[in-house]
Structures are given as structure tokens and as C-alpha cells.
């Protein structure tokens, strides 16, 4: 993708009379949008949104600097008679007081996106606004409150409506009931308050009868109170429900089990109580993201949650849950594989927008949307869970973040913790865990955030490999029996051993020696019968074998005899050389003369 670093959009583009598609989003243009674009009468798609993200594998990426792309007026839009899609989100429209009148003159417009465009306030009731062809309207992030303009609800064809972050408050116009085909409704980050039942009463007219079409409902960060109405069961097509950070309370109605298509259920930061229903695991089989953090749920963790084969994010933190962690929590199918492929997840259909949730990650809260399919997370922190960490949890080889902090867990860290090869964040702090810290931690090559503080761990802190990259004493503080770097508490010397690592090595060597001697017996038996068995049953090999050794014996005998004779001969010669040189030759013994035959 090109990036123009603040250069102005060229005016000559307006001379391309036959242009039908123009996408300049995230291209780094700045300055004033040229009015010449209004000459493109055949243009059906125009995207000038300067927002751009460089995506990465661990979060939603790094924002690229944006330049001040702005307009002074929008009357030139009237020349785009064929325009069906317009995205000027994040483009500064603060001085374009005519923005609504100009857009009202687009006869074919279907999709209008003006999010975070600093739109100037307009009258809440403009009877001449006639945007009846719209199917998607996004005015989020413009602070148009306190009252929603009534003209927004005059379009029964509207499929997706996003009015989030606009400082709107009650009352919601009863005209919302005219939105008979609505599939996505986003009213997050406003000031709606009062009973959620009253909110429901605003849905009158055809939307009350045909509410089954709604698949995405986002009411996060408002002031809604009361319990979830049982009529939510009418939303049989609902796939994404966001009610985070309100004042909702009571138990979850059993009628919610009829919302069997739910993929995202975010009820965090409310006052819900009671036990976590079993039907969540039994009936909501498509659930990918379950967030119930910061409520008042009590009782045990339902083992039935492990039936959720597609679950990627489970956040039950900051509740009053008790009991042990079920062994079945090692059976989450989607967490037992390492997902390496990013697929954009939509909250409903493509018109509903990209799904987005907030996840605690490495001690902080992050929002994930376009990389959400890569997030695999379990957070059970801040409860009253006891017992040991089940070893089955190590079967979740795709798990990236595990937070079990601030409970009453006991026992040791599972020996197979190194099976969590994709783990990046592990928090076991503020428990009653004991024993040695497994040396296998050093083999978790993705681990970048570790917290084992305030437990009862003992012994030497393991080092090398990955643990050397997160060498922070705060990781281990509150464990008085731990010693070694990075703590100042030095470990006592171990006699005849430099370190526990050397001890492990010696134990390994001893085991190898034991295995060697154990294998000698079977090895001797097998080797003996391989050789002797062949000689016993194969006569020709047996004869050849014995002939070979007979021959070798003869050769050895001859070689030894020759060596011995040569040795004696050399010894005799050395003796003769020792006689006096003046001795006459006839004095020599007759046998010493060659060729002499004795007469004796």
C-alpha cells in the first residue's frame, strides 16, 4: 500500500470521468480534500478514511501517523449522483456545517460512514432529511448528544446503526421502532440510564414484532440498571451481546438459553449474581468469547463449560467463585491447538462490523478486533478457588495467557507446564503454591510475562534460556524460601555440586549408567544366540568357522616357532662373537664347522 506522508490529494483525479471506485484510505494524504472530486458523476465507491493500522500477531498493531485531512464544505458531494458507499471517517468535517444537507442530496447512497469526524451539531428534527435508501449509518464518536436526531429513525431499510460515543441520553425516540430490518445496533459509550426494561419499551412498532433479525446488540458503558429481561429469548438470531460496564444485576434469565447462536457474550463489570448457569455450556455451543468478569457470581466453576468447543476467551475473574478448577477445563477444543492463522471475526454478518472485545493481557486491559481470532486466554483471577492446579490444564497447548492469581490454590506447579508452548503470559501470584519452580519454565520460548510472587515456593530460582530474558526480582517477591538471582537472597552451597542443575545432570548420568548395565544382560543373551544359534543349526557355517580357527591356530603356531628359532639363532651368534680373536681356527669344535661330518 502506498503512503504519501501528508501530500495533498491530486486535483487531476477529478478529471477521471469514468472512475467508479476510489479508495484512498490509509494512504497518508493530508490537507484539504479537493472539490474536483465532485466531478466524478459515475463514482459509486469513495473511501477517504485516513486511519491505518500495521497489524501484528500479538495485538491489533501500531497506528501509523495520520495527517490532517479535512474539508471546508461538502456541497461538491451533490455531483456524485451515482455514489453508493461513502467513508469519510476521521476526516475533519468540523467546518462543514452543510454536511447533512449535502449528503441528503445523494440519491443512491447506501452506506454512510462518518465516525470520529468532528461533525458540528445539527438540529435534532429536520423534516426535509430523506435518506431512505441507507442500509448502513455510522455516526459514532462525534458527540452529537444529548438527544438522538429523530431523522435517524425515518428509514425502515436501515440494517446497521452505530451511534456509539456521542453523549446521548434518555429518552430514546419511540421512532426507533420503525427500524424493521435492523440487524446491528451500537449505542455504547453514551449516557443512557434507568431500567433496561424501559430501554426495551422504546422498541415499538414493527421492530418489536420482527426483533428476530437483530444479531448484534452493543450497549456497553452506559448506566443501565435492573436485570436482563426474559424477552431476550426473542432475539433468536443474536450472535453478539455486549452489556459491559453498566449497573445490571440479578441472575441470568434461563430464557437466554434460546439464544443458541451467540458467539460473544460480554456481561463484565456489572452486578450479576447467582451461580454461573450450566446451560451456558450445554446450549450456547457456538460461544467463542465468554466474559463475566467483575460481577458477583458465586458457587463452583461449571464443568459443563468445557463443552464449548469453540471457546477462545474465558474470563471469570473478580467474582466470588469457589471450589476447585475442574479437570475438564483441559478439554477446551479450540485451546488445544495452536492457531497461527488470523481470520477476521464479524459480530454478525459483514454489515455488522468486526467483532471487538477487551481482554486482560500481561497485566493490562487491551482491545482486540482484527486480530481477535489469534487470542486464546483464560482468566480465573480474584476468586476463592482452592485445591491444586489440574495437570490437565497443560493440555491446552494453544493457550497464550493464563491468569490464576489471587486465589487459594495449593500444591506445586504441574510438571508438564512446558507443554504450554504458546504461553506468553502466566500469572500465579497471591496463592499458596509451594515446592520448587520447575526448570522447564526456561523452555517456554514465547513467555514474556511471568508473575509467581507471594506464594510459598522454595529452592533455587532456575535460570538460562527464556527466563534470562525476564530477569525481574518482582516476579519472585513474597517467597521467603526462594534463593538465587535475581533475588538478593543467596543459595547455600551444595557439597560436591556446583548447582542444582549439576545435580540434575549427575542424576541423569547415573540413570544412563543404570540403564547401560540393565541392558547388558539381554544384550549378551541376544548376541550369544545370534552367533551360537547359527553355528548350531548351519553345518556348513560351523565347519567353516572351526576351519577358520584351526587355520588361525596353525598360522599362529608357525609364526611363534619362527620367531623363537630366529631368537635362538641371534643369541648363538652373539655368543660366538664373544671368543678371543687370537684363538686358532683348528681349535674350534668340529660341529661348529659348516659341512663337517663327525667321525664319532
The x, y and z cell numbers of residue 42, run together, are 459515475
In which band, very low, low, confident or very high, does the pLDDT at 366 lie, cut at 50, 70 and 90? very high
Q: What predicted TM-score, i.e. pTM, was given to this entire model?
A: 0.79
pLDDT higher than 60, residue 576? no
Provide mean pLDDT across the span 95-111: 90
Across 284-293, 361-370, 587-596, the highest mean pLDDT is recorded for 284-293
> Using an 8 Å Cβ cutoff, are 351 and 136 in contact?
yes
Give the pairing type, strands 69-70 and 85-87.
Answer: unpaired
Q: pLDDT (tens digit, 9 = 90+) per residue, 528-549?
A: 666 676 667 667 766 777 777 7
pLDDT: is 511 or 25 the higher one?
A: 25
Quote the pLDDT of residue 588: 39
pLDDT: is 244 or 50 the higher one?
A: 244
Dist. CA 503–CA 466, nearest whole Å? 21
Q: pLDDT (tens digit, 9 = 90+) per residue, 394-427?
A: 999 999 999 999 999 999 999 899 999 999 999 9
Q: Is 428 left (phi over 0), alpha (psi -120 to 50) or beta?
A: alpha
Quote the pLDDT of residue 194: 86
Quote the pLDDT of residue 511: 58
SS3 content of the chain, % helix, strand, coil (to 5): 30, 20, 50
Number of residues that this document lists for the chain? 600
**CB count in 10 Å sphere of residue 42:** 13
In which band, very low, low, confident or very high, does the pLDDT at 510 lie, cut at 50, 70 and 90? low
Provide mean pLDDT across the span 19-28: 92
Quote the pLDDT of residue 2: 67
Q: CA geometry: angle at 83 spanning 82 and 89, to 5°?
A: 170
Quote the pLDDT of residue 500: 47
pLDDT higher than 90, residue 493? no
Provide mean pLDDT across the span 456-474: 87
Quote the pLDDT of residue 589: 42
Provide the b/e sequence for 3-27 (b: ≥16 CB within 10 Å). Answer: eeeeeebeeeebeeeebeebebbbb
Question: Which of 121-130, 145-154, 334-343, 474-483 is the least confident region?
Answer: 121-130
Question: Which of 196-200, 317-321, 431-435, 523-527 is the least confident region?
Answer: 523-527
288 three-class SS? coil
What is the dihedral angle through the alpha carbons of 130, 136, 137, 141, rounded to the nearest 10 degrees? -170
Dist. CA 85–CA 136, nearest whole Å? 9
Provide mean pLDDT across the span 128-147: 88
In which band, very low, low, confident or very high, does the pLDDT at 181 lie, cut at 50, 70 and 90? confident
Quote the pLDDT of residue 578: 47
pLDDT higher than 80, residue 526? no
In which band, very low, low, confident or very high, does the pLDDT at 586 lie, cut at 50, 70 and 90? very low
Question: Which of 102-106, 306-310, 351-355, 369-373 is the least confident region?
Answer: 351-355
Quote the pLDDT of residue 350: 60
C-alpha closest to that of 204 among 171, 169, 176, 238: 176
Would you give the DSSP letter of residue 384?
E
524 three-class SS? helix
- The alpha carbon of residue 543 and the mean position of all alpha carbons in its chain are separated, in whole angstroms, by 71
Quote the pLDDT of residue 593: 39
402 three-class SS? strand
pLDDT higher than 80, residue 522? no
525 contact partners, CB below 8 Å, separation of at least 6: none
- The average confidence (pLDDT) of the chain is 84
Amino acid at each position: 500500500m502506498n503512503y504519501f506522508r501528508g501530500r495533498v490529494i491530486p486535483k487531476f483525479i477529478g478529471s477521471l470521468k469514468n472512475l467508479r471506485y476510489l479508495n484512498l484510505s490509509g494512504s497518508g494524504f493530508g490537507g484539504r480534500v479537493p472539490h474536483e472530486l465532485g466531478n466524478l458523476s459515475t463514482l459509486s465507491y469513495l473511501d477517504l478514511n485516513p486511519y491505518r493500522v500495521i497489524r501484528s500477531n500479538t495485538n491489533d498493531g501500531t497506528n501509523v501517523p495520520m495527517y490532517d485531512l479535512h474539508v471546508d464544505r461538502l456541497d461538491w458531494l451533490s455531483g456524485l449522483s451515482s455514489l453508493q458507499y461513502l467513508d469519510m471517517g476521521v476526516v475533519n468535517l468540523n467546518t462543514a456545517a452543510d454536511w447533512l444537507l449535502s449528503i441528503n442530496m445523494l440519491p443512491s447512497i447506501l452506506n454512510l460512514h462518518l465516525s470520529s469526524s468532528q461533525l458540528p451539531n445539527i438540529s435534532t428534527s429536520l423534516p426535509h432529511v430523506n435518506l431512505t435508501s441507507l442500509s448502513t449509518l455510522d455516526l459514532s464518536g462525534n458527540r452529537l448528544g444529548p438527544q438522538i436526531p429523530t431523522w435517524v429513525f425515518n428509514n425502515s431499510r436501515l440494517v446497521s446503526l452505530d451511534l456509539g460515543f456521542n453523549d446521548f441520553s434518555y429518552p430514546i425516540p419511540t421512532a426507533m421502532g420503525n427500524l424493521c430490518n435492523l440487524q446491528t445496533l451500537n449505542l455504547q459509550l453514551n449516557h443512557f440510564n434507568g431500567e433496561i426494561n424501559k430501554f426495551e419499551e422504546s422498541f415499538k412498532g414493527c421492530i418489536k414484532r420482527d426483533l428476530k433479525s437483530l444479531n448484534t446488540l452493543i450497549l456497553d458503558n452506559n448506566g443501565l440498571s435492573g436485570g436482563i429481561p426474559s424477552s431476550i429469548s426473542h432475539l433468536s438470531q443474536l450472535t453478539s451481546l455486549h452489556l459491559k460496564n453498566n449497573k445490571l444485576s440479578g441472575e441470568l434469565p434461563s430464557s437466554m438459553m434460546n439464544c443458541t447462536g451467540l458467539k460473544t457474550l460480554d456481561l463484565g463489570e456489572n452486578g450479576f449474581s447467582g451461580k454461573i448457569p450450566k446451560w451456558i455450556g450445554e446450549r450456547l455451543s457456538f460461544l467463542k468469547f465468554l466474559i463475566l468478569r467483575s460481577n458477583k457470581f458465586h458457587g463452583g466453576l461449571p464443568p459443563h463449560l468445557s463443552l464449548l468447543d469453540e471457546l477462545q476467551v474465558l474470563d471469570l475473574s473478580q467474582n466470588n467463585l469457589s471450589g476447585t478448577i475442574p479437570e475438564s477445563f483441559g478439554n477446551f477444543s479450540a485451546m488445544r491447538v495452536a492457531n497461527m492463522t488470523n481470520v477476521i471475526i464479524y459480530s454478525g454478518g459483514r454489515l455488522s462490523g468486526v467483532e471487538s472485545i477487551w481482554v486482560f493481557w500481561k497485566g493490562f486491559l487491551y482491545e482486540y478486533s482484527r486480530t481477535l481470532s489469534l487470542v486464546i486466554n483464560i482468566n480465573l483471577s480474584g476468586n476463592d478457588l482452592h485445591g491444586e492446579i489440574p495437570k490437565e490444564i497443560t493440555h491446552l497447548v494453544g493457550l497464550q495467557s493464563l491468569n490464576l492469581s489471587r486465589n487459594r490454590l495449593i500444591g506445586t506447579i504441574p510438571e508438564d507446564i512446558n507443554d504450554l508452548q504458546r504461553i506468553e503470559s502466566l500469572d500465579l501470584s497471591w496463592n499458596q503454591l509451594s515446592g520448587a519452580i520447575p526448570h522447564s519454565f526456561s523452555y517456554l520460548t514465547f513467555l514474556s510475562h511471568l508473575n509467581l510472587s507471594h506464594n510459598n515456593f522454595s529452592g533455587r530460582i532456575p535460570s538460562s534460556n527464556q527466563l534470562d530474558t525476564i530477569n525481574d526480582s518482582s516476579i519472585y517477591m513474597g517467597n521467603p524460601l526462594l534463593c538465587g538471582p535475581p533475588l538478593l537472597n543467596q543459595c547455600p552451597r551444595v557439597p560436591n555440586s556446583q548447582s542444582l542443575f549439576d545435580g540434575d545432570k549427575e542424576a541423569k548420568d547415573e540413570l544412563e549408567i543404570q540403564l547401560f548395565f540393565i541392558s547388558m544382560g539381554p544384550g549378551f543373551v541376544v548376541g550369544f544366540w545370534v552367533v551360537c544359534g547359527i553355528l548350531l543349526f548351519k553345518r556348513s557355517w560351523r565347519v567353516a568357522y572351526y576351519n577358520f580357527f584351526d587355520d588361525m591356530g596353525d598360522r599362529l603356531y608357525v609364526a611363534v616357532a619362527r620367531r623363537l628359532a630366529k631368537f635362538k639363532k641371534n643369541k648363538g651368534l652373539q655368543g660366538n662373537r664373544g671368543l678371543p680373536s687370537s684363538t686358532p681356527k683348528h681349535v674350534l669344535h668340529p660341529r661348529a664347522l659348516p659341512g663337517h661330518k663327525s667321525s664319532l
